[in-house]
Amino acid sequence: MIEDRRGQVQDRRLPHGVHILHDPRLNKGTAFTEGERDSLGLRGLLPHRVFTQEEQEHRAIANLRRLASPLDKYLFLVALLDRNEGLFYRTVVDNLAELLPILYTPTVGEACRQFGLIFRRPRGLYVSARDRGRVRDILRNWPERRVAFVVVTDGERILGLGDLGAHGMGIPIGKLTLYTACGGLDPGLGLPVMLDVGTENEPLRSDPLYIGLPEPRLRGPAYYELLDEFIEAVEEVFPGALVQFEDFATANAFHLLARYRTRACVFNDDIQGTAAVVLAGLLNAGRLTGVPLAQQRILFAGAGVGVGAADLIVAALRARGIGEAEARGRCWFFDRDGLIVQGRPGLTAQQQAYAHPHGAVAELTAAVRALRPTALVGLSGQGGLFTEAVLAAMADVNERPVVFAMSNPTSQAECTAEQAYRATRGRAVFASGSPFGAVEWDGRRRAVSQANNAYVFPGLGLGVVACRIRRVTDAMFLAAAEALAAATTRVELEQGAVYPEISRMPEVSLQVAEAVARTGYGEGLAAVPEPADLRSYLRAALYEPTYPAYP
């Protein structure tokens, strides 16, 4: 019997000798004390000197900084996670602003591209199209019975990179690390899952190093039967677990969310998490420009999952007393076929809700000049879409144009921070999906906010898991967006930021968790009785990446 890092007794015997050094959850490396080395049979298996975790962290970060390539740094961190979980999370939490771009966007995109080449050891579960009928058995193979949140992808729309098949497993793995590093959730509660249903990426299928099914994608009823079996299996094996859908193709993303949202505890981060981040950014942009949300007109470049952002904006406007028709009229969409307007053929049901009366417009600059939007939000996955002409047009129709280039990785960004500030003569309120350094303009430093979903989903997960919330609702994302916007300080706003500093993500996640949990209690969805001090209750549930003392 041992205690975990939260002091809870775990019903398993402590490994002895070299075996404890090979268990990343228990391994402390050179930090094992003299007494622990004697009691655990480690004498002679480690060098003489005993180091503190802080000293180990200094060594780890120094070694990482010696590496030039972001992908090499990613591999270093993954190796550390495989070797010593406590040290990995201590290092990441203490250096979050530096390491978040390595663990996730933009480096995780390259890691997914190279996943077959850099594959070292399995992490998470792989469920293939050939596993229909035995998904429950596969989930029972996972060694942890405490799973409380699952991140699952089928790899069809990885970031802005497209169909990467089983190589998309890098995304759930990365998301799980952020649940812990940013949201404070115990890593033992998380499970990354790859639904390997094939790929339409022919070069990948013919790659001898491809790790997945080298077959065309499973489609139609058979695909949904597999998804049904998966959701039912999660409910049976890990009752009440939160399921996060990640990087599914747009049509499947909307369909699966609608299919399961009233049957299980699920959400889609690309639709709902992105929506909360966009809304929070627009709320703070309004504080900078003096144009509140109720007076904004938003033009979205990209008409896929961005529809979810428009839906949440509509909900926020309705909460401010604006009618639904007027609220929807504030949101416009432009895609590769031009402006989405009434009568345009081939629109999805989600797009139809934002097809307004207007003449056809085929070019983005012309759309900006015709609609005069206060905000231009890029979710297109088309690198360089916001040309100098587009940005100049935004500056012509706004004193302070709001420009969010949210597609990632960096190669897919609609524009860079420097391009946005240059074309608007420093007047833009800018945010991006990938990180960009601060920009000096006219002798003044302009902060560049990263519109990162890690501001939302870890806090959402903390609130849902800690309070055992049975369903995830749109109202929770509205509350999360309001909490995220409110967490941005006056100093950060004065520097031009619309989101808090990355280093403050753990603090922000706690505020988001509280807002989500309060909404869950208000909707009668929480199984845990409401604590008198909800913030303290949530704080007490946080995982601390410190070493336990062994008997």
Q: What is the CATH number of the domain that holds 67?
A: 1.20.1370.30
| Type of residue found at 463 | G
Cα torsion for 151, 154, 158, 161, to the nearest 10°?
170
Which residue out of 175, 210, 354, 499 is catalytically annotated?
Answer: 175
Distances (CA, A) of 298 to 214, 301, 403: 42, 10, 10
Please indicate, yes or no, if residue 110 is contained in any of the structural domains.
no
> Tens digit of pLDDT for each residue in 235-282?
999 999 999 999 999 999 999 999 999 999 999 999 999 999 999 999
Closest listed residue to residue 127, CA positions, set 24, 203, 237: 237
Residue-level pLDDT at 441: 84
Quick one: 448 and 462 in the same domain? no
Last residue of a domain, one of 47, 77, 93: 93
Annotation says 73 is catalytic: no
Quick one: 427 and 482 in the same domain? no
Quick one: 216 and 187 in the same domain? yes
> Tens digit of pLDDT for each residue in 21-70?
999 999 999 999 999 999 999 999 999 999 999 999 999 999 999 999 99
Residue-level pLDDT at 446: 85
Quick one: 334 and 207 in the same domain? no
Q: Count Cα atoms within 13 angstroms, Cβ side, for 511.
A: 15
Task: Give the integer Cα–Cα distance in Å for 184 and 532.
Answer: 21
**In which band, very low, low, confident or very high, does the pLDDT at 447 lie, cut at 50, 70 and 90?**
confident
Cα torsion for 407, 433, 511, 242, to the nearest 10°?
40
Quick one: 319 and 425 in the same domain? yes
Does residue 8 have a pLDDT over 90? no
Q: Which residues partner with 192 through β-bridges?
A: 151
Encode 499-543 in three state secondary structure: CCCHHHHHHHHHHHHHHHHHHHHHCCCECCCCCCCHHHHHHHCCC
Last residue of a domain, one of 230, 264, 298: 264
**In which band, very low, low, confident or very high, does the pLDDT at 463 lie, cut at 50, 70 and 90?**
very high
Quick one: 482 and 517 in the same domain? yes
Write down the pTM of the prediction: 0.94
Residue-level pLDDT at 11: 43
Token pair of 487 as six digits: 């967490």
Please indicate, yes or no, if residue 112 is contained in any of the structural domains.
no
Residue-level pLDDT at 423: 96
Task: Give the integer Cα–Cα distance in Å for 275 and 311.
Answer: 8
Token pair of 246 as six digits: 């990640």
Task: Give the integer Cα–Cα distance in Å for 110 and 113.
Answer: 5
**In which band, very low, low, confident or very high, does the pLDDT at 9 lie, cut at 50, 70 and 90?**
very low
Please indicate, yes or no, if residue 339 is contained in any of the structural domains.
yes
Please indicate, yes or no, if residue 51 is contained in any of the structural domains.
yes
C-beta of residue 178 within 8 angstroms of C-beta of residue 104: yes
> What are φ and ψ of residue 7, in 5° steps?
80, 10
Residue-level pLDDT at 335: 96
Cα Rg for the chain, rounded, in angstroms? 24
pLDDT > 90 fraction of the chain, expressed in percent and rounded:
93
Please indicate, yes or no, if residue 510 is contained in any of the structural domains.
yes
Burial class (CB in 10 A: 0-12, 13-18, 19+), 349: exposed
Q: How far does CA 117 lie from the centroid of its chain?
A: 24
**In which band, very low, low, confident or very high, does the pLDDT at 7 lie, cut at 50, 70 and 90?**
very low
**What is the pLDDT of the chain when averaged over all its residues?**
95
The contacts of residue 379 (CB under 8 Å, 6+ apart) are: 274, 300, 301, 302, 304, 305, 306, 309, 406, 407
Does residue 10 have a pLDDT over 60? no
Please indicate, yes or no, if residue 113 is contained in any of the structural domains.
no
Quick one: 249 and 172 in the same domain? yes
Task: Give the integer Cα–Cα distance in Å for 180 and 506.
Answer: 9
CB atoms < 10 A from the CB of 258, how many?
A: 10
CATH number assigned to the domain comprising residue 250: 3.40.50.10380
Quick one: 372 and 417 in the same domain? yes
C-beta of residue 112 within 8 angstroms of C-beta of residue 173: no
Does residue 527 have a pLDDT over 80? yes
CATH number assigned to the domain comprising residue 360: 3.40.50.720
Closest listed residue to residue 363, CA positions, set 388, 337, 342, 345: 337
Q: Which residues partner with 341 through β-bridges?
A: 356
Task: Give the integer Cα–Cα distance in Å for 438 and 455.
Answer: 20
Which is it for the CA torsion 331, 438, 446, 182, positive or negative? positive
Does residue 4 have a pLDDT over 80? no
Quick one: 422 and 521 in the same domain? no
> Tens digit of pLDDT for each residue in 517-526?
999 999 999 9
Closest listed residue to residue 194, CA positions, set 129, 273, 109: 129
Quick one: 366 and 320 in the same domain? yes
C-beta of residue 243 within 8 angstroms of C-beta of residue 450: no
> Tens digit of pLDDT for each residue in 375-404?
999 999 999 999 999 999 999 999 999 999
> Tens digit of pLDDT for each residue in 278-302?
999 999 999 999 999 999 999 999 9
* Higher-scoring residue by pLDDT: 121, 235: 235
Closest listed residue to residue 404, CA positions, set 372, 428, 370: 428
C-beta of residue 414 within 8 angstroms of C-beta of residue 394: no
**Angle, CA of 286, 288 and 294, to the nearest 5°:** 15
> What are φ and ψ of residue 160, in 5° steps?
-105, 20
Token pair of 409 as six digits: 């990785």
Does residue 544 have a pLDDT over 60? yes
**In which band, very low, low, confident or very high, does the pLDDT at 531 lie, cut at 50, 70 and 90?**
very high
Quick one: 446 and 466 in the same domain? no
Residue-level pLDDT at 12: 56
**In which band, very low, low, confident or very high, does the pLDDT at 3 lie, cut at 50, 70 and 90?**
very low
> Tens digit of pLDDT for each residue in 213-226?
999 999 999 999 99
C-beta of residue 42 within 8 angstroms of C-beta of residue 17: yes
Which residue out of 74, 89, 104, 499 is catalytically annotated?
Answer: 104
444 membership: H or E segment, kind and range: strand 444-446
What's the DSSP call for residue 533? Answer: S
Quick one: 171 and 130 in the same domain? yes
Residue-level pLDDT at 13: 78
Q: Which residue range forms the structural domain that includes residue 300?
A: 272-452
Residue-level pLDDT at 409: 87
Residue with tokens 């981060």: 269
Strands (E) located in 242-380: 242-245, 266-268, 298-301, 331-335, 338-339, 375-378
Strands (E) located in 263-389: 266-268, 298-301, 331-335, 338-339, 375-378
Q: How far does CA 260 lie from the centroid of its chain?
A: 20
How many domains is the chain built from? 4
The string of DSSP letters for 61-100 reads HHHHHT---HHHHHHHHHHHHHH-HHHHHHHHHHTHHHHH
Annotation says 210 is catalytic: no
Last residue of a domain, one of 232, 264, 296: 264
Please indicate, yes or no, if residue 334 is contained in any of the structural domains.
yes
CB atoms < 10 A from the CB of 35, how many?
A: 11
Q: How far does CA 46 lie from the centroid of its chain?
A: 38
Please indicate, yes or no, if residue 545 is contained in any of the structural domains.
no
